Chains A and B, each alone.
Chain A
C-alpha cells in the first residue's frame, strides 16, 4: 500500500464490496448487494468493454435473431441507477493480507469484501498444434468473437467445427442457418459423454445430420493448413484434408484462475476456485461465484465448476446475501442444464448417468423423445430428457434437491407427462416445510428497487415479518389467533373435532396422518401462491384494499381445489373440514 501511495497518493481508493468481472455473476451480485445493503459502496472491476450481456443469447445473435441492444442482461443504465461504480481496469494481483487489489495501471484499490467473478475462457486448440494461429481459427466465447464471426460469414463457404459439447452443436446449427457447409469433428464417439448416453447422443447426432452437417466422430484435428496467413483447410487424424475458410473451436471452457494464482494467500483452486455453500473461498473476505467457482456436488461430493447461466445467477445472489450479512444460503442442489441441441430440447438434472450399485436407470424412447431416469431406491438422482418439448425441469430439480420419493410419479416422469403443479400442490410447500423443520420463520425478500438513489432510505430492510406469518384461527375467537413462533405448529380444530372421535388402533400411523393433515392445513392457511408473506412484489400492492380482495377471492376456489386434491374424502378425515366450520382461516386477518 505504501508503494502505491508513493506512486500516486490519490489513486488509492477503496470500496466495501469489490467485484471482479462484469459477467452475469458479477452484475447480479452487485445489484443484489445494492438491494440488500443500500449503504455499502459497490464497485465492479472489469476489463470488458461492454455492459453485461446475456451470453447464452449470443448464438441467437450469431444468426441475426437478436440485435446487439437486445443482448443486455439488465436494462441499460442499471449500474448508474443502482449506484454501482464500474471501474474499467485489469486486476493483476490480490493482496489479501492488506486487503487491496493491484491493478495493471499500477494503482491499488482497497476492498472490504472481494467477489471473484472472472468467469471462464475457452480452452481452444493445443498450443503446439500446427497452424492453430492462422487467421480464421476462432473460438466463440465473447461478444467480440461473434461480431468477428458475423463479419466473416460472407466469405465462408465451408467451415470446420471442432468439439463435442452443446456449444459445438449450437455453433454447427448457426452455421447451417447461414447455408454454410459444416464439417463437425468430434473426438469421442458420443456427444457430451458425461451427460448423454449412447442412445441420446445418437438421437442428437441424427438430428444435426438431418439438418445437413457432415459429422465425423472419433476424429480430431491433426493440423491446420493455411495459405498466406489464412485458413485453407484442416487435416484430420484420419488423414483427410477438409478444405475450409473457417475453423471454429468449441472444445470447452476453463475457469479463469490467474487471480487465484496471483494472491499472496493461497486460494484453494483446482478446477475452479473451491467455495463452500456460502461461496467463501479459502481466504477470508474473498468469495467466488459464476463460472470460476467450483462447488461441491451434493451427489458425488466432488468440486467442479458449473458453467451455466442459472448456476451463475443463483450463486451471485447467494454471494451477495452472504457478503452483505443477509446470508440465508440457499442450497444450490444438483446441477441443472437445459438447452436446445439442434432441434431437440435437452434437460439434464443431477447425474443421469449415475452408475452406483443400487441405482437402476430406467429409459423410455418413444415418438422422437428419450428419457432416462436414475434412481437410488425411490429417490431420483438423475434425469435426462430429450425431445421436442421441455418438461418442467426446475420442478424436477426441486424433486431431487428436496429428496422426494418418486415412486408414484416414475411413470409420468418417464413418459414426460409429469404435472409439476399437480404434484407440488399435493406436497407441502417448500417454505412451509422449511419453517416446520427448522422452526425459523421464512425470510421474505424485499423488493428489487427501481428507485432513485435519493430515495434509498425508503428501502425496507430484511426483518422477520411475524405478523405476516400464517395464522391459525380457532373457531372465530380473536384471542385464539397466535402467530407462528419457533415451534412446529399444528392447527387446533376444537370447533370441528369431536372429542368422541375414535382414534384408530394404530397410533403411530394415526400420528403421521394427523401430522400430514396438519401440514396440509398449514399449507392452505399459508396460501402458497399468494400467501401473506409475499416476498418481493408486496411493495406494489396498495395496503388494504379492494383490488387485492378482488384478486384473492377467485383464488379461494383454488384453495378448495387444493384441499380436494389433498383430501379426497373430507368426511372420512380425522378432522372434518367444511366451509361452515373453517378449521384454519389464514386469510381472516387480511380481510379485516
Chain B
C-alpha cells in the first residue's frame, strides 16, 4: 500500500475514491476477508464495515479496526470476487484522518 518512491517518502493509494465505491458495491458480503484478517479484534460485521467505509459516521468498533489494520493484505487473496479490502481499509483510515480521531461516534 505504502510504496516508497525512490526515497521520496511518497504515499500512494492504489485505488481512487470512485474505485473504492465501486468495489464496496461489488462486495458480496461473504466475510472471507474478515475471517482471514489477523488484526480484527472485536467482531465487526461486513455490512456495518461496508456502510461506514462508504460514508456516514464511523462507529467505535469500526474505527478501532481501521486503526488496528496494518495493511498486511491477507484479506485480498481470499476474496472470491477479487476485491481489495486493504484499499478499502485504507480509505477508512483516510476518512478517519479527515474526520479527526476525536470526532468519532461513541
Contact = CB atoms under 8 A, between A and B. Distances in A.
A2 B32 CA distance: 53
Contacts of A430: 18
Interface string B12-41: 111111110111011011111001000000
A420 B11 CA distance: 17
Interface in B62-84: 77, 79-84
Interface in A10-66: 54, 56-57, 59-60, 65-66
A152 interface: no
Given A389-B77, A554-B9, A534 B17 contact: yes
B71 to A, nearest CB: 15
Nearest to B96: A540
Given A313-B26, A450-B57, A557-B10, A547 B81 contact: no
Interface residues of B, number: 50
Given A54-B30, A309-B28, A448-B55, A394 B95 contact: no
A110 B79 CA distance: 42
B29 A57 contact: yes
A529 interface: yes
A177 interface: no
Q: Chain B: interface secondary structure?
A: loop
Given A75-B48, A338-B81, A536 B54 contact: yes
Interface in A56-87: 56-57, 59-60, 65-66, 69-75, 78
A78 B47 CA distance: 10
A72 B47 contact: yes
Contacts of A536: 17, 21, 54-55
Contacts of B15: 421
A339 B14 contact: no
Contacts of B100: 542, 547
Contact of A431 (B18, B84, B91, B95): B18
B106 interface: no
Contacts, number: 155
B61 to A, nearest CB: 12
Nearest to A561: B5
A69 B46 CA distance: 10
> Which among B22, B31, B47 has the highest number of chain A CB atoms within 10 Å?
B47
Interface in A319-364: 338-340, 345, 347
Contact of B98 (A451, A541, A555): A541
A510 B103 CA distance: 51
A369 interface: no
A146 to B, nearest CB: 13
Given A72-B47, A542-B99, A554 B11 contact: yes
B35 A65 contact: yes
A539 B84 CA distance: 24
16 contacts: A65-B30, A65-B31, A70-B45, A70-B46, A73-B29, A78-B51, A339-B80, A347-B82, A389-B77, A394-B82, A448-B56, A450-B52, A529-B13, A529-B16, A529-B17, A541-B99
Closest 8 CB pairs of A and B: A390-B82, A54-B29, A450-B56, A557-B10, A56-B28, A340-B80, A310-B26, A448-B55
Given A69-B45, A530-B17, 19 more contacts: A57-B30, A60-B30, A75-B47, A75-B48, A309-B26, A313-B26, A389-B77, A395-B19, A430-B18, A431-B18, A445-B21, A448-B55, A537-B95, A551-B94, A551-B97, A557-B10, A558-B11, A560-B10, A561-B10
